[in-house]
Amino acid sequence: MTRLHELSRLGQSIWLDNLSRTLLREGELARLIAAGVSGVTSNPAIFQKAVSDSPHYRDDLARLKSQEADPERRYEALAVADIRAACDLFRPLHEASGGDNGYVSLEVTPRLAHDEDGTLAEARRLVLLVERDNLLVKVPGTPAGVRAFERLTAAGVRVNVTLLFSLRQTVRVFEAYIRGARAWLDGGGDPQRLKAVASLFLSRVDTLVDARLDALATPEALRMRGGTAVAMARLAYQRYRELFQGPAFTELMAAGVRPQYPLWASSGTKNPAYGDLLYVEPLIGPETINTLPDKTLAALLDHGRVAATLETGVADAEAHLVRLEDLGILPEAVGDELQQQGVVLFANAYDRLIDQMR
């Protein structure tokens, strides 16, 4: 029994925010699954680091360079092999959970972040290419990405919506899922096929808001540092409960459709002055997922405190966001800025990754 199993008893899943052939071939991912890790997320930055650091790609990359002219297809061949292998490792858990857990995420190219039709087509292509029921295709929570997500849900495609940085962005994704699920059912689709998560990024929110609080330098502003992301996540969970445990989802729930769980992303602490589990211990609650980088996962396994905390301090969370607005820091504007930055950062990581394939 590990802390991850204790979290599972409280209804929270822990996924690993990392994937590489080193993890796959040297047995570490299998050991983490035994310890209670129940899914994996990936992105271009993760694959770029994996290809740079792991010796297990060299032979395949050399072969691909001699056989495949397109660098993007070279990357895709490497990534899809890793995703399939990870999906196969998680398959027993996926089947035992009835399709609730054991997922592996693969991201649509960030170059399509503002292209609804392109995202839709690419997501469908990746599903056919990977051929695993426990694949989640990652699409960005941009306006175009959310529209594509609704259409993908209406087509029965399982999706991880990424790059969410605010309450408004998250609620729009929840609402899109409900509309897409209704369309899927109206077309005769199997309700059990649907699966989606909404990935709300945390540490980047505090990094940006803290810088603005530091600039104000008032005693009140300085006291508020390091509290915005947790407050936002707690309120996002309240919005989740209002939508998915309320009348908007009653009919779909009765038909067997799963709700779209909130997923806490960017949960490694970036500020060394903060605790290493700042985005873990205060956000434990049912029907949620936390995806952790290796260092944060190790900290949780070593000294994490497990208790139901997500629904504590909700009034304080509301007050925190109100005080931010009173100080001229608008959380929704912060979220929009961070989403734009996130698209650029992921696109840059993708470009670096493709350069490695040349």
- The string of pLDDT tens digits covering residues 287-339 is 999 999 999 999 999 999 999 999 999 999 999 999 999 999 999 999 999 99
Instruction: Pick one of 1.10.10.10, 3.20.20.70, 3.40.50.1970, 3.40.630.30 as the CATH number of 3-203+230-310+340-356.
Output: 3.20.20.70
Give the DSSP H or E segment for 127: helix 116-130
Check: CB of residue 309 under 8 Å from CB of residue 284.
yes
117 pLDDT tier (thresholds 50, 70, 90): very high
* Per-residue pLDDT at 188: 98
List the one residue out of 260, 252, 104 whose CA is nearest residue 190: 252
147-162: pLDDT as tens digits: 999 999 999 999 999 9
How long is the chain? 358
Tell me the backbone φ, ψ of residue 291, rounded to 5 degrees.
-105, 120
The string over 84-111, giving b where at least 16 C-beta atoms fall within 10 Å of a residue's C-beta and e elsewhere, is bbbbebbeebbeeeebbbbbbbbbbbbb
- The predicted model scores a pTM of 0.97
Q: State the alpha helices, DSSP H only, in 217-267.
A: 219-223, 228-244, 247-255
279 pLDDT tier (thresholds 50, 70, 90): very high
* Per-residue pLDDT at 53: 94
28-52: pLDDT as tens digits: 999 999 999 999 999 999 999 999 9
Amino acid (one-letter) located at 79: A
* Per-residue pLDDT at 235: 98
* Per-residue pLDDT at 28: 98
* Per-residue pLDDT at 109: 95
Among residues of the chain, what percentage have pLDDT more than 70?
A: 100
Q: Report the mean per-residue pLDDT for the chain.
A: 97
Mean pLDDT confidence for 76-80: 97
CA atoms within 13 A of residue 91's CA, in its CB half-sphere: 10
**What residues are annotated to the active site?**
138
Q: What is the DSSP letter of 27?
A: S
Estimate to the nearest angstrom the gap between the alpha carbon of 155 and the chain centroid.
21
228-257: pLDDT as tens digits: 999 999 999 999 999 999 999 999 999 999
